[in-house]
Amino acid sequence: MLLRLPTTLTEALECVAEGAVPVGGATLVWAEWQRDGFPAQAVSLRSLPQANVLGRETVGAAVVLHRIDERVPDVLRLAAQQVGTGAVRRTATVGGNLVGSALRCLLPAALVLDARAMVLAPEGAYETDLGTLVAKHPMLLGLRWTEPTASGYRKFAGEAGGPPPAVVATAVHTSEAGPPRLRIAVRAGYQVHSESVICDGGAEQVADALVRTPIGDLLPQPVLAAVREEVADVLRRANAN
């Protein structure tokens, strides 16, 4: 197998056009390749500057999870800190988690940030939504979002050998065009559900509005109780800013 390490966007696009398979941090694909056979060529973006950015409103696909710190919103930082073990976080990448993993531990955080994905295709780099990213698995270059006023993340305890633990991610976004909006994403099993509501009234009223959306019929009662707690917490911190 030929492993290609592009250092420019032009070189990365050439890799895509020639069918190189993304390797991410190799925490997931390596075992699959050992079982099913190695591709003729693979590509890692770890040497591409555009895939290594990290800031308040952007993160590159090649950023390993243990690098994600206070430079990004709380929801993304906390999500990254709770992926696997320390050894996994030192090798797993943002791109590998979002595109190559069935769990997609960072997806709820990305959804509440209302993030957009920059991806690479043979015809060039372009921006797309997270739904397209998850459905079509293009090569991810990075994520961009607008910094929220406040955000939060809660992960339930999981059972060994059981389904993935539930996750509740929240973020409050302000806009000059209207009142603040609360975004929420919940992972229940392997499914991630997301909704948003206008922050009209207190925490209880906002939580009631969320429960009246389709998400209220999809979640078990313990998770709905956690949703109410997380809504109250993120609104409290948003109002304090």
The pLDDT of residue 112? 98
| Residue 162 pLDDT greater than 80, yes or no | no
Distance separating alpha carbons of residues 13 and 226, to the nearest angstrom:
43
Please report the pLDDT score of residue 27 as a whole number: 66
Q: What's the whole-model pTM score?
A: 0.92
Between the CA of residue 193 and those of 8, 101, 105, 189, what are the distances in Å?
A: 36, 17, 13, 10
| Domain end marker among 100, 118, 144 | 144
pLDDT digits (tens, 9 = 90+) for 10-33: 999 999 999 988 887 666 676 777
* Residue 30: CATH number of its domain: 3.30.465.10
**Do 127 and 162 share a structural domain?**
no
Query: What band does 113 get if pLDDT is binned at 50, 70 and 90?
Result: very high
- The residues with which 22 forms a beta bridge, in sequence order, are 43
* Domain encompassing residue 190: 150-240
Last residue of a domain, one of 90, 122, 144: 144
What confidence tier does 209 reach under pLDDT thresholds 50, 70, 90?
A: very high
**Cα 72 to Cα 104, 183, 240, distances in angstroms:** 18, 17, 19
Assigned token pair, 169: 């991610």
Q: Which residues contact 202 (CB under 8 A, 6 or more apart)?
A: 235
Least confidently predicted of 17-26, 74-83, 191-200, 231-240 = 17-26
Instruction: Give the three-state DSSP class for 233.
Output: helix
- Residue 158 and residue 137 in one domain: no
Name the more confident of 168 and 38: 168
Cβ neighbours for 51, distance < 8 A, ≥ 6 positions apart: 12, 45, 60, 61, 62, 63, 95, 141, 142
What integer pLDDT is reported at residue 188 of this predicted model? 87
Residue 90 pLDDT > 80 = yes
What average pLDDT does range 143-157 have in this prediction?
Answer: 95
Task: Clarify whether residues 188 and 167 are in a common domain.
Answer: yes
Structural domain total, the chain:
2
Do 88 and 105 meet the contact criterion of CB atoms below 8 Å apart?
Answer: no
